[in-house]
């Protein structure tokens, strides 16, 4: 009878973009992320350089410098995945794109590869913040951190209003 209400307030799960260790975003050594200026989120200390889509949706932007991408999930969640800190300074060195803005992606699809030897060789941090840019549109954004994860494993739980 009230089938139209079914799934209306279902939790939205966002996956890790990479294999590694999920940590609270407050551990990111950059106040823009740690103080949640761009939104709530999580960070992953990566073990490999395969950076994947954390959810199904559409890529809004793949930065020209390939250090970050943004996407909007099929539920409307706006996600920023930032590979490393200050990596924009590399101007694409050590990064390869496997997708472009406008592409429809599924959770786990390969978006970028990052050569962390190159990034570390430049003295840069490889931590990967994953930020929900439209945090205010949701009742809660909860971090599922403090664990080893594979790409696609749930690291954020979003509660609709």
Check residue 135 and give its pLDDT.
Answer: 97
Q: Quick one: 21 exposed, middle or buried, by C-beta within 10 A (0-12, 13-18, 19+)? A: middle
Check residue 1 and give its pLDDT.
Answer: 40
Tally the C-alpha atoms within 13 A of residue 130's C-alpha that lie toward its C-beta. 34
Sign of CA dihedral 85, 46, 99, 122: positive
Check residue 8 and give its pLDDT.
Answer: 55
Instruction: Give the C-alpha separation, 43 to 20, whole Å.
Output: 10
pLDDT over 90 for what percent of the chain? 93
Instruction: Give the C-alpha separation, 2 to 142, whole Å.
Output: 29
Check residue 9 and give its pLDDT.
Answer: 67
Mean pLDDT of 117-127: 97
Mean pLDDT of 35-56: 97
Check residue 3 and give its pLDDT.
Answer: 42
Catalytic residues: 82
Mean pLDDT of 48-58: 97
Check residue 67 and give its pLDDT.
Answer: 96
Say whether pLDDT at 122 is over 80.
Answer: yes
Q: Where residue 4 falls among pLDDT bands split at 50, 70, 90?
A: very low
- Scan for tokens 């761009």, then name that residue: 38
Check residue 157 and give its pLDDT.
Answer: 97
Q: Where residue 58 falls among pLDDT bands split at 50, 70, 90?
A: very high
């Amino acid at each position: 009878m009230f089938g139209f209400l079914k799934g209306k307030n279902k939790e939205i799960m966002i996956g890790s973009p990479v294999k590694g260790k999920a940590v609270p975003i407050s551990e990111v050594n950059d106040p823009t992320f740690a103080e949640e200026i761009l939104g709530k989120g999580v960070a992953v200390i990566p073990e490999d350089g395969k950076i994947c889509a954390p959810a199904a949706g559409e890529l809004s932007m793949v930065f020209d410098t390939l250090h970050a991408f943004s996407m909007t999930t099929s539920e409307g969640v706006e996600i920023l995945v930032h590979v490393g800190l200050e990596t924009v300074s590399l101007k694409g060195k050590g990064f390869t794109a496997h997708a472009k803005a406008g592409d429809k992606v599924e959770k786990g699809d390969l978006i970028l590869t990052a050569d962390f030897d190159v990034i570390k060789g430049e003295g840069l941090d490889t931590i990967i913040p994953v930020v929900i840019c439209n945090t205010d549109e949701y009742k809660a954004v909860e971090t599922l951190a403090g664990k080893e994860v594979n790409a696609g494993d749930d690291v954020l739980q979003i509660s609709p209003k």
